[in-house]
């Protein structure tokens, strides 16, 4: 751990030998526990395959080909002075793949699809029902294909990150890919296998943080300090989340999606555990942000004042941490509000009291996720700051006069 990710290298900050050994020991134990958790909670793919078989995306024999839009019918409008136009809210399409390649059909679409700006040349996904019982082949609308615009958005994101943040930005993108792979290949199938939601989320979060922090911020004692604070924050968030979910009697099934999942997943899924997992994952990115900031703050303060006591460094760094907490709280609340805006509008339209709305399952889940994540990251600030203040020891008085400053 000889190099660092900031202007002040570890060589400019004295590391206490005992604290260094304790920190290293803690991280080794955490890494070993993470590996053991991955092995113990590894998905049972036989169970996953069974669940998938019970929940086919389409009926037997029905395929989902891609089609290109040829023409778009007018919007269906009907009022006192208007009539419903013939062929309204319909698309004329040409099938691009599958056994019906080259077929042309007219499919009805929801009104919101027509008003979304879809036009000739855009692609959609269809349901193709084969001929049976004297009925001809039929096509119905499934969804709009958005792969191309999303791909361009992804490429733009990567270019902007690398252009602005350079090598560190590129490593952050690599960390993002690793995080996505962990969620897709471990967390989701493990949850579908019926594993403990809280345990799977904590193990996944720990594995992601080990990779992301060291790959993005470099192998250093400062990064190790931030990692230790992050792991403690994950544990606290998980414990608080479990207590809140049980105390508030949240079921974890807040909408139609959860109900649909419960119909074919059976009793193998613990939906309260899934909710606990979502609580842990929801605040992971912000938690990482505050722990890195606090560790860096302590390192900069230590480099500026090599002889300052640990208490003084801790106090000064916590002033920075309090400002960061204040801004981060708004970040979490507005992020959740934006994601749940449609839900908030629907609940508001019911014209019930604020307390009554807050007690509904969907709203209560969002409140529990928001506040639990916020509490976890708030507590992680003094924990990380304290660990960093212990690790970044003051220099010996006889060396203070000769210690190089930055």
pLDDT in tens, 132-179: 877 888 999 999 998 888 999 999 999 999 999 888 889 989 989 999
Give yes or no: residues 84 and 29 share one domain: no
Same domain, 109 and 215: no
Angle at 34 between CA 325 and CA 199, to 5 degrees: 75
177 and 323 share one domain: yes
pLDDT tens column, 354-398: 777 777 888 888 888 888 988 998 999 999 999 999 888 776 643
Dihedral through CA 300, CA 303, CA 304, CA 306, nearest 10? 140
Categorize the per-residue pLDDT at 6 as very low, low, confident or very high, splitting at 50, 70 and 90: very low
Does some domain include residue 37? yes
Over residues 264-287, the mean pLDDT reads 81
Whether residue 403 is predicted with pLDDT greater than 60 in this model: the reply is no
225 within a domain of the structure (yes/no): yes
User: Which among 282, 311, 252 is positioned nearest to 375, based on CA atoms?
Assistant: 282
pLDDT-based confidence at residue 126 (cuts at 50, 70, 90): very high
Tell me what percent of the residues of the chain surpass a pLDDT of 90: 37
Mean per-residue pLDDT, 277-281: 89
Q: What rounded mean pLDDT belongs to the chain?
A: 84
159 within a domain of the structure (yes/no): no
Residue 46 lies in a domain: no
The pLDDT tens digits for 187-206 are 999 988 889 989 999 999 99
Over 50: is that where the pLDDT of 406 sits? Answer: no
For the beta sheet containing 66-72, the strands, ordered from the edge strand earlier in sequence to the opposite edge, are 104-108, 90-95, 66-72, 123-129, 138-144
Q: Tell which wins on pLDDT, 89 or 69.
A: 69
Distance, in Å, from the CA atom of 216 to the CA atom of 87, rounded to the nearest integer, reads: 54
On the question of pLDDT at 267 being above 80, the answer is no
Contact present, 194 and 349 (Cβ < 8 Å): no
172 within domain boundaries: yes
**CA–CA distance, 357 with 364 (Å, rounded to integer):** 8
Shared domain check, 221 and 115: no
pLDDT digits (tens, 9 = 90+) for 78-99: 654 445 666 788 999 999 988 8
Give the number of domains in the chain: 2
124 shares its domain with 265: no
What is the pLDDT at residue 246?
87
**What is the per-residue pLDDT for 79?**
55
| Any domain includes 22 | yes
pLDDT tier at 266, thresholds 50, 70, 90 = low
231, HSE (Cβ side, Cα atoms, 13 Å): 25
Q: Are residues 246 and 359 in the same domain?
A: yes
Residues 131, 250, single domain; the answer is: no
Same domain for 171 and 130, yes or no, is: no
Q: Which domain holds residue 88?
A: 66-144
Q: Say yes or no: 226 and 258 in one domain.
A: yes
Angle between helices 361-391 and 271-282 (to 10 degrees): 50
pLDDT average, residue stretch 326-342 = 77
Q: What is the pLDDT of residue 8?
A: 53
Contact assessment for residue 85 and residue 78, using Cβ atoms and an 8 Å cutoff: no
């Amino acid at each position: 751990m000889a190099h660092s990710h900031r202007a002040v290298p570890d060589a400019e900050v004295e590391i206490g030998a005992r604290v260094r050994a304790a920190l290293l020991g803690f991280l080794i134990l955490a890494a070993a526990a993470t590996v053991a958790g991955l092995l113990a909670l590894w998905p049972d793919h036989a169970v996953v395959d069974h669940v998938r078989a019970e929940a086919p995306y389409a009926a037997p024999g029905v395929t989902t080909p891609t089609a290109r839009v040829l023409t778009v019918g007018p919007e269906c409008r009907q009022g006192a002075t208007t009539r419903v136009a013939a062929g309204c809210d319909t698309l004329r399409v040409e099938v691009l793949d599958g056994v019906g390649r080259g077929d042309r059909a007219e499919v009805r679409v929801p009104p919101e699809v027509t008003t979304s700006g879809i036009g000739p040349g855009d692609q959609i996904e269809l349901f193709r029902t084969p001929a049976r019982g004297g009925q001809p082949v039929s096509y119905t609308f499934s969804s709009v294909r958005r792969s191309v615009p999303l791909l361009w958005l992804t490429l733009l994101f990567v270019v902007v990150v690398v252009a602005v943040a350079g090598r560190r930005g590129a490593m952050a993108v690599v960390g993002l890919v690793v995080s996505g792979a962990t969620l897709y290949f471990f967390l989701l199938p493990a949850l579908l296998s019926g594993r403990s939601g809280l345990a799977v989320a904590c193990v996944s979060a720990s594995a992601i943080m080990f990779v992301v922090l060291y790959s993005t911020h470099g192998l250093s004692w400062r990064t190790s300090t931030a990692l230790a604070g992050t792991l403690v924050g994950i544990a606290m968030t998980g414990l608080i989340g479990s207590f809140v979910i049980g105390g508030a009697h949240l079921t974890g099934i807040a909408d139609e999606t959860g109900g649909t999942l419960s119909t074919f997943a059976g009793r193998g899924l613990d939906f309260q555990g899934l909710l606990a997992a979502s609580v842990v994952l929801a605040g992971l990115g912000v938690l990482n942000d505050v722990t890195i900031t606090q560790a860096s703050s302590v390192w900069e303060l230590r480099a500026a004042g090599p002889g300052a006591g640990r208490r003084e460094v801790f106090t000064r760094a916590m002033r920075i941490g309090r400002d960061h907490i204040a801004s981060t709280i708004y970040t979490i609340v507005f992020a959740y509000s934006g994601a749940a805006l449609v839900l908030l509008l629907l609940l508001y339209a019911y014209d019930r009291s604020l307390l009554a709305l807050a007690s509904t399952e969907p709203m209560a889940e969002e409140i529990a996720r928001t506040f639990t994540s916020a509490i976890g990251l708030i507590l992680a600030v003094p924990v990380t700051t304290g660990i960093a203040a212990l690790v970044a020891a003051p220099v010996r008085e006889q060396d203070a006069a000769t210690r190089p400053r930055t």
